[in-house]
Amino acid sequence: MRIHINDPLDKQATERLKSVPGVELTSEHLEKEELLKIMPEIEVLIVRSATKVTADIIEAGTKLKIIGRAGTGLDNIDVKAAEAKGIKVINTPGANSISVAELTIGLMIACSRHIARGTIDLKNGKWTKKELEGHELFGRTVGIIGFGNIGREVAKRLLAFDMKILAYDPFVKETDMNVKMVDLDTLYKESDYITIHVPLTPETKNLINKETFSKMKDGVIIINAARGGIIDEAALYEALVNGKVYAAGLDVFEVEPPTDELRQKLLALPNVVATPHIGASTFEAQERVGMLLVERLIKEIA
């Protein structure tokens, strides 16, 4: 069975797959044109988020049986096109949730305490102590949009900071955690921090926009470690410049890597803390995700 890994997969997981009798494994990142050329030969394609598995790639996979996604979101895979051809799509929900939750909290603290700006200033020989007064998380209200695997891990940890926690999720009506499920308007109105943990879907595209910013508290802190495109970046820029939003912590962008325009405008603002989509990039999460995916694949091909 020919398996191709097109995005970096944990070493131990790759070795485990290699040890399966009958498996012929290739592992190399190919750009679309090159990937299209080998598609007719492969039966299993493994990706993370960098490879976009579009309908034409799926169409070219005449022997393709399984697409394995080492991670959660399936927005880089045309699942409908795969299902129409009877190709199974396997992912690993939950396996990287703790890493994303920890980064989310890191971004919240970095935004509250100007950690990135303080570092840049200090490295440039500037002692900006007086300009960098920040906020505590203690006693403040956080609104979590999307109360799935990551949203719940974020809540669990923020309870230890003694924050008041609100959450909105149309598919979760109650929880046994010390979290109040509310409607979106209440969440916008009452939150000092808003953190997003929903998938990117037609419903969540530009969920946070000019109109929704106007419903939020002045000085709100916004965190997005879910998917680019959920926040309207132009509206966020405006809200950061006019002070509606105190700071934003972003791990994901509508275009990745971001365009020069975004880098020169939104990312250049001193109150934006940004990381290059590293939510799941920990040794622990990648091992967990890789091993879980490989065990699931082995079950399928056995």
Contact region with ligand NAD (CB under 6 A), list: 34-42, 122-130, 139-147, 237-245:
139-147
Q: Comparing C-alpha atoms, which of 71, 77, 74 is closest to residue 57? A: 77
- Site string (109-138) toward ligand NAD, x via CB under 6 A: ------------------------------
- What gap in Å lies between CA 47 and CA 33, rounded to an integer? 16
- What gap in Å lies between CA 225 and CA 104, rounded to an integer? 6
CB 3 within 8 A of CB 46: yes
- Out of 97, 112, 191, 195, the residue judged to bind ligand NAD by CB under 6 A: 97
User: Which residue shows structure tokens 């622990």?
Assistant: 284
Chain centroid offset of residue 178 CA: 25
Contact region with ligand NAD (CB under 6 A), list: 80-88, 158-166, 222-230, 265-273:
222-230
- What gap in Å lies between CA 194 and CA 143, rounded to an integer? 5
Residues designated catalytic: 227, 256, 277
143 sits near ligand NAD (criterion: CB under 6 A)? no
Q: Which is nearer to ligand NAD, 42 or 230 (CB)?
A: 230
- What gap in Å lies between CA 103 and CA 109, rounded to an integer? 10
Q: Which residue is nearest to ligand NAD (CB)?
A: 148
69 sits near ligand NAD (criterion: CB under 6 A)? no
User: Which residue shows structure tokens 């309908």?
Assistant: 55
Contact region with ligand NAD (CB under 6 A), list: 20-28, 125-133, 145-153, 258-266:
145-153
CB 282 within 8 A of CB 99: yes
Q: Which residues form the interface with ligand NAD (CB under 6 A)?
A: 71-73, 93, 96-97, 100, 145-151, 168-172, 197-200, 203-204, 225-227, 251-252, 277, 279-280
